Amino acid sequence: MKGSLVLPALWLSALGSAVVGGVFFAFSTFVMTALRSLPPAQGLAAMQTINRSVLDSLFLALFMVSTMAAVFVAVAAVVQRGPGALPAIAGAGLWVVGSFAVTAAINVPLNDALAPLDPAQAGTAGPWADYVRTWTAWNHVRTAASLLAFVGFMLALQAAGKAEAAP
């Protein structure tokens, strides 16, 4: 894979998928467990705060820019069909479908449904328990997809480096 923008986009895709995958991993392995262990009203309120704060964060910017970079990498890989094209396409597909699309189609709507709940009101324990179970299950999918995308992007970078070094 070559071109003045392709390799930086590939590096950005790799970095973004690793960092975002790490954040997803943290949520899957201990953040949601900690929130679930709190009284439902406290866990729900904490998650609502997290969901609001992510909208103005560097995390969201990295997530969006990495997604755009991955789409660019996939298009370049299809057009160029050079060394590293297949793992680049696989990485981009895993990222765009398994991380971005799952987030947009499942996790964000779950967050939106959680937002109007009043933690102080009776009856929120059931919706909170359902949210934690469903959101976390899909977050596992996002974690795996992001980290596998990272592997694809790194394999593409390795192939591109070998091709560039070849006489």
Residue 55 lies in a domain: yes
Widest Cα–Cα separation across the chain: 71
pLDDT bucket at 46, cuts 50 / 70 / 90: very high
User: Measured between alpha carbons, how far is 29 from 47 in angstroms, rounded to an integer?
Assistant: 15
Residue 165 has pLDDT above 70, yes or no: no
Q: Per the domain annotation, does 136 fall within a domain?
A: yes
Query: Is 119 part of any domain?
Result: yes
- CA distance linking residue 149 with residue 147, whole number of Å: 5
For residue 90, being part of any structural domain is answered with yes
- The answer to whether the predicted template modeling score (pTM) of the entire model surpasses 0.85 is yes
Residue 11 has pLDDT above 80, yes or no: yes
Residue 1 lies in a domain: no
Mean pLDDT across the stretch 92-114? 98
Count the domains in the chain: 1
Decide if 58 is inside a domain: yes
pLDDT bucket at 2, cuts 50 / 70 / 90: low
Domain residues for the domain of 135 are: 6-165
Q: How far apart are CA 87 and CA 143, in angstroms?
A: 18
